Amino acid sequence: MKLDPVALAVMNNRLAAIAEEMGVVLGQTGYSPNIKERHDFSCALFDARGELVAQAAHIPVHLGSTPLSVRAAIEHLDLGPGDVAALNDPFAGGTHLPDLTLVMPIFLRNERRPFAYAANRAHHADIGGMAPGSMALSTEIYQEGFRLPPVKIVERGEISRDVMALFLANTRVREEREGDLRAQIAALRVGADRLRSLVGNSGKSIVNAAMDDLKDYAARLMESSLRALKPGIYRARDFLDDDGFGTKNIPIHISIRIRGGRAIVDFTGSSRQVRGSVNANYAITLSAVFYVMKCLAAEAVPANEGLMRPITLIAPPGSVVNALAPAAVAGGNVETSQRIVDVLFRAMAKAAPDRVPAASSGSMSNLTIGGFDRVRNRHFSYYETIAGGAGAAPGRPGASGIHTHMTNTLNTPIEALEAYYPMRITEYRIRRGSGGRGRSRGGDGLVREIECLGESNVSLLTERRTLRPWGLFGGGNGSAGANWLVRGKRRVKLAAKTNLTLQAGDRVRIETPGGGGWGR
């Protein structure tokens, strides 16, 4: 069955609306500020084969990689009615350990096989490991937190007490983890109810046909977009600052061959995996390619798995873009994903100069602060990605103080942060002049300074502190970022990646990079 264009557009929006409603439920029922305020989560729907068919406008680094988690759950578990699978293993479809993925099969009445699957992924602000926040300067996956292969967290509608107990025993903030986990389950149940309602109203054959047709349509649109580009091989190289353990200027090399409506994206020549946690697993690299190709499409392509059909990805195993166990990967998800996007855009600027922007800030500027709050008599773990400047584009300056590319979260409002944590915001503003000069100017980064009101452990995972975001077609580079420890009247510059202990009254100051400029 092939649906007419109007019916297909309506069904595309109805499926996407279900994913969006799942996100609303998760955001409103989540327990931690990271879920309620920052919306560090993503929701999507998958067909009976575990292929992505619809997603909400959430976080690109989650959504392009979630299909691997869904298929891992289907492969390893016999999921029945009322079951929910949970996993976070980066080497079984996950991204990094704080990102917990839940997968629920959706059964129709009197059917023995799932009709579809609902899934969501949420960043839990602590998942154990060597430091609060589970984003420490690590050298192997075992230091980064609790690693969960596909297991049933819910079985026949009831939460598995053993799995839940094991999960909660490996986090510093039990009540947050349980609250956020239950919110994820609630969101899945809403998604399942809404999809069954859609099938009841439209018919199983129509919804099934829509899922298949939408993937075919996305594949055709992507193929058409690639045919519109000049055939050729487009190459680029960019670098990560360092891995936190002495390895600097870590290369990521890309070669993109475009011909006949197809693309071969080849990362051969990129660095071998490194000691620090900036290693990206295959799921992250796949997600970055998905995101960039969707951005480059001439028309709005439905965000489903069909988009990748005309694209072949080559990521050498054991490299920094396809790390193998037991590599540390916490920073690969948040930092290397951004650099992969940068190098992909840099190569494609030669093929589509009218559509590609200069480099954005290139770092999520990850900050985690944790410890014991003696006033509230509880452990706490605060995590945040801090926005930077967007790269300028042809005829358009870059936005300032905004999350770009693989992140799409909000900030933690000052009021929420100070009400929930033993911290005080002493400065929060645009970092004027940090964007690159050009015909179109790059966006400015931010300054965010936080005072700790008690002893706290701090972890920083940041990039673009040495190598600046590049300008394009003669535009100037954006300013590099900087991290500082402010102790009384002293200011000490911190490394891009570090763990440290702060005393009451100490401040950590993050100055994020600006975006590159475009044109002379």
Domain ranges of the chain: 5-217, 357-520
Question: Is the model's pLDDT at 10 over the cut of 90?
Answer: yes
pLDDT band for 1, please (50, 70, 90 cuts): low
Across 254-258, average pLDDT? 98
pTM above 0.85, yes or no: yes
pLDDT, tens only, 157-212:
999 999 999 999 999 999 999 999 999 999 999 999 999 999 999 999 999 999 99
- Report how far residue 322's alpha carbon sits from residue 86's, in angstroms, rounded to the nearest whole number: 23
Q: Give pLDDT, residue 116.
A: 98
Q: Give pLDDT, residue 222.
A: 96
pLDDT, tens only, 21-78:
999 999 999 999 999 999 999 999 999 999 999 998 778 888 788 999 999 999 999 9
Q: Rounded to whole angstroms, what are the CA distances from 409 to 34, 58, 122, 201?
A: 9, 8, 11, 34
Question: Is the model's pLDDT at 250 over the cut of 70?
Answer: yes
Helix (H) or strand (E) holding 456, with range, is strand 456-461
CB under 8 Å to 120, separation ≥6 — which residues? 22, 23, 26, 41, 42, 43, 44, 101, 102, 184, 187, 188
Across 241-258, average pLDDT? 98
- Indicate the average pLDDT of the chain: 96
Q: Give pLDDT, residue 60.
A: 82
Across 469-483, average pLDDT? 98
pLDDT, tens only, 406-418:
998 999 999 999 9
Across 248-264, average pLDDT? 97
Q: Give pLDDT, residue 298.
A: 78
Q: Give pLDDT, residue 3.
A: 87
Helix (H) or strand (E) holding 508, with range, is strand 507-511
Helix (H) or strand (E) holding 209, with range, is helix 204-227
pLDDT, tens only, 202-241:
999 999 999 999 999 999 999 999 999 999 999 999 999 9
pLDDT, tens only, 382-398:
999 999 999 999 999 99
- What whole-number percentage of the chain has pLDDT above 90? 94
Question: Is the model's pLDDT at 299 over the cut of 90?
Answer: no
Q: Rounded to whole angstroms, what are the CA distances from 140 to 101, 127, 130, 171, 324?
A: 21, 15, 11, 18, 11
The SS3 of residue 91 is helix
CB under 8 Å to 7, separation ≥6 — which residues? 206, 210
Say how far residue 6 (Cα) sits from the centre of its chain: 32
Please name every residue paired with 314 in a beta bridge, in sequence order, or none if there are none. 266
pLDDT, tens only, 309-352:
999 999 999 999 999 999 999 999 999 999 999 999 999 999 99
Residues 269, 270, 271: CA angle, nearest 5 degrees: 120
The backbone torsions φ and ψ at residue 77, rounded to the nearest 5 degrees and listed phi first, read -130, 150
Q: Rounded to whole angstroms, what are the CA distances from 472 to 175, 237, 336, 441?
A: 47, 14, 21, 11
